[in-house]
A and B are shown apart, each in its own frame.
Chain A
Amino acid sequence: MTNSIISNSIRFILLILFQVLLLNNINFLGYINPYLYVLFLILYPFNTPQSLFILVSFFLGLTIDTFEDSGGINAAACVIIAYIRPAILRFSFGVSYDYQTVKLSNTPFGTRLGYIMVIVFIHHLVLFSLEMFDFSHIFLILKKTFFSGIFTILLILISLTLFKPKKR
């Protein structure tokens, strides 16, 4: 238990620093930035109380917002993801989630990819809608969501492969 708290705290800090110091400066083709910190929401243990998860996600988003001067858009996106994650988990992994036996590294690649894609695209859609704050820019919002989302998913898959937990 304490082990999981420590590893999640370290992941929290490292992902924030990596996001604000490096990834926010990529600006590929002018507007495409990956939001790798979503990885925290994806990997956060599945069997902990949800209220704690919502609270932690809020602070994750708020810290990113403080660095980016973006008000509360990341916080809002993270809180929404934290709130609907059980539904997404049930949707992606089906019955095995209900018995609390899912481990992300043990799931087949297809369902894992589906789970990541749903979370990333919902997160990005909320994020960019709030950033524009104007539904007349719906096309721009969708475009940003799509391209940044692909970039984020790629980075998440790469980091999941790099930091694979050791098989016992």
Chain B
Amino acid sequence: MQQIFNFLIRNKNNILFLLLLGLSLFLTIQSNSFHKSKYISSANFITGGIYNWSNNIQTYFYLEDYNQRLLEENKELRKLLTNIEDTSAVINFEDSTSFNGIYLFRTAKVINNNYSKTDNYITLDRGRNSQISKEHGVITSQGIVGIVDQVSKNYSRVISILNSHSKINAQLKKTNHFGSLIWNGKDPNVVQLIDVPRLAPIKIGDTIVTGGKSLIFPQGIPIGSIEEFKLDQNESYYTIEIRLFNDMTNIGYVYVIENKDKVEIKELEGIDD
């Protein structure tokens, strides 16, 4: 017994080192697997609070930019609105509630944004108290941003599309050929769309939008335009480089999307399991 204690005391530095190194490697590996890093995230009380405080100061410097974006968006929405009024004579909804749609939109402010690492996260200033929960989609008026993965009381953390673990269903705007949106970690303005079948008619400059296959984003939210494409090694699928419409390095306010029917659809699909 004495010898064991002596051994422990003599090697306390080595043991402490191995223990803490093991712990930090464990946290690293855990954060590399999707949806697992629960405790060490910036959506907690202290870190979220500090980011919120510093963001309150920064926001003033961008007010003009945000106003400009809101104006642009209003213009687009007005354009859409006039189109709807034109067609309203033809399509008549008897029950007004049936037209409400299955998506709920909430606004939030980005208080911390990363884009220089290979796995980037964004922190928002809304959390569980504002009915935001896991797997809600996050967009801006120009395009998609990411998916919520951690929620605390007043803050939430978003897996940015600039994250090597992010995988989002996307499709061509013209046809319905779809693939998965990933990021190779290099340029924060360019993402990759993989697994698009070779049959798809692809031209440089075509628009890519979100696909209807995921329960997170509504179909047809713009993502970016095709910059470059090539066939993969066995020449059956395209890998497409997409330039984002959204400037991921400069996000101010975002919309968080909730799919109200998600639970119902998941239940239905999970009947066999």
Which residues from chain A sit less than 8 Å from chain B, CB to CB?
A: 17, 20-21, 24, 27, 30-31, 33, 50-51, 54-55, 58, 61-62, 65-73, 75-76, 79-80, 82-83, 130-133, 140
Q: Is the CB–CB distance between A54 and B31 below 8 Å?
A: no
In the complex, chain B residues whose CB is within 8 Å of the CB of A73: 24, 28
Q: Is the CB–CB distance between A55 and B16 below 8 Å?
A: yes
In the complex, chain A residues whose CB is within 8 Å of the CB of B115: 27
Q: Is the CB–CB distance between A67 and B21 below 8 Å?
A: no
Q: A51-B12, A71-B27, A75-B27 are in contact. Are A66 and B20 (CB under 8 A)?
A: no
In the complex, chain A residues whose CB is within 8 Å of the CB of B16: 51, 54-55
Candidates B12, B20, B44, B117; contact of A70 at CB < 8 Å: B117
Q: Is the CB–CB distance between A72 and B28 below 8 Å?
A: yes
In the complex, chain A residues whose CB is within 8 Å of the CB of B17: 54, 79, 82-83
Q: How far is the CA of A65 from the CA of B28 in the complex (A)?
A: 10
Q: Is the CB–CB distance between B24 and A79 below 8 Å?
A: yes
Q: How far is the CA of A82 from the CA of B24 in the complex (A)?
A: 14
Say what secondary structure dominates the interface of chain A: helix
Q: A72-B23, A73-B24, A83-B17 are in contact. Are A67 and B37 (CB under 8 A)?
A: no
Q: How far is the CA of A20 from the CA of B42 in the complex (A)?
A: 11
Q: Is the CB–CB distance between A21 and B24 below 8 Å?
A: no
Candidates B13, B28, B51; contact of A83 at CB < 8 Å: B13
Q: Is the CB–CB distance between B25 and A72 below 8 Å?
A: yes
Q: What residue in chain B is nearest A76 (Cβ atoms)?
A: B24
In the complex, chain B residues whose CB is within 8 Å of the CB of A76: 21, 24-25, 28
Q: State the 8 A-B residue pairs at the shortest beta-carbon distance, nearest first.
A: A71-B31, A72-B27, A72-B24, A75-B24, A76-B24, A71-B28, A69-B121, A83-B17
In the complex, chain B residues whose CB is within 8 Å of the CB of A68: 42, 114, 117
Candidates B12, B27, B118; contact of A132 at CB < 8 Å: B118
**For chains A and B in complex, what number of residue pairs have CB atoms within 8 angstroms?**
103
Candidates B13, B26, B29, B32; contact of A54 at CB < 8 Å: B13
Pairs A–B under 8 Å by Cβ, sample size 8: A27-B249, A30-B188, A51-B16, A76-B24, A79-B17, A79-B24, A80-B21, A131-B119
In the complex, chain B residues whose CB is within 8 Å of the CB of A61: 24
Candidates A31, A66, A80; contact of B42 at CB < 8 Å: A66
Q: Is B81 an interface residue (CB 8 A)?
A: no
Q: Is B126 an interface residue (CB 8 A)?
A: no
Q: How far is the CA of A143 from the CA of B97 in the complex (A)?
A: 57
Q: Is the CB–CB distance between B31 and A72 below 8 Å?
A: yes
Q: Is the CB–CB distance between A33 and B24 below 8 Å?
A: no
In the complex, chain A residues whose CB is within 8 Å of the CB of B32: 71, 133
In the complex, chain B residues whose CB is within 8 Å of the CB of A82: 17
Q: Is the CB–CB distance between A62 and B12 below 8 Å?
A: no
Min CB–CB distance A34 → chain B (angstroms): 12
Min CB–CB distance B76 → chain A (angstroms): 30
Interface mask (B1-41 → A, CB under 8 Å = 1, otherwise 0): 00000000000110011001101111111111000010011
